Amino acid sequence: MACTLSARLLLICIELERALAPICRSKEYLKVSTAVETEKKPAKKRLSKKLLIIVAVVVVLLLFAGAGVAYVVSQRHAVDENGDDVEAVAKEPAPAPTFLPIDTMVVNLADPGGERFAQVGITLELADAKTAELIKQFMPSIRSSVLLLISQKTSDELLSREGKDKLAHDILREVSRPLGFSVPDAPVGVTAAKPTAGHRAENKSKDKGKAGGQENPVHRVLFSGFIIQ
């Protein structure tokens, strides 16, 4: 009888164990799945942070690119006084001038007694080589006019800086005349700081067979030598 009861109890325990086995396995599965999910959550957080950083970097790069494009576009356009956009034009460098030396002149000055003379070297600064060739055609008359001009000066006039400036301005007028250009007289008391002798000519043609507004191609008269004895 006792053996039969123990055998029954043993069978009941086996049945209970079989019945509870799925439940235990499901609990273990839940534990494992919960652990896996808890492991996935930090990974998702890390991925979201990396994604935010990448997006922020892309936005910053786009902002810089847009600023660069705006700067380039603004440099291509200028705004005039009325606020209208004007296409900016790059300034081309001015062409190099042409220099034409004139043979050194030895001239008696207008000093009393006629014992003083000047030895003057002159170089002309011209707009281009074409003007130089044109002046060479008139060189005999130009030299004659310059010689007569210097011979009317005294040594005291030519020893001062103002006198040399005045002489250069007068020579500019004599050189320009055969080309059809007129040069106004230098103002009285002119100094080297003013744009007259030895400086770029400001005048333009005045009814001398040239088109109105045409610039004088003879820019300056330079002294390469100046000796008074």
Three-state DSSP at 178 gives helix
Note whether 146 and 211 are same-domain residues: yes
Which residues lie below 8 Å from residue 22, measured CB to CB, with a gap of 6+?
Answer: none
User: Is 0.95 surpassed by the pTM of this model?
Assistant: no
Between CA 153 and CA 169 the distance in angstroms is: 14
Longest dimension (CA), the chain: 175
Neighbours of 131 (CB within 10 A): 19
Note whether 154 and 84 are same-domain residues: no
* Assigned token pair, 174: 């004599």
Note whether 200 and 113 are same-domain residues: yes
User: What is the structure's pLDDT at 91?
Assistant: 64
**61, 77, 92: which is the final residue of a domain?**
92
Q: How many helices (H) and strands (E) does the chain have?
A: 5, 5
Q: Does residue 110 sit within a domain? A: yes
Give the confidence band of 135 by pLDDT, cuts at 50, 70, 90. Answer: very high
- Tell me the per-residue pLDDT of 159-169, one tens digit each, with 9 for 90 and over: 999 999 999 99
Note whether 139 and 62 are same-domain residues: no
Three-state DSSP at 229 gives coil
Note whether 146 and 119 are same-domain residues: yes
Note whether 131 and 203 are same-domain residues: yes
CATH number at residue 178: 3.30.479
Between CA 203 and CA 122 the distance in angstroms is: 21
- Tell me the per-residue pLDDT of 78-101, one tens digit each, with 9 for 90 and over: 544 555 555 544 567 778 899 999
Query: Residue 88: which domain range?
Result: 27-92
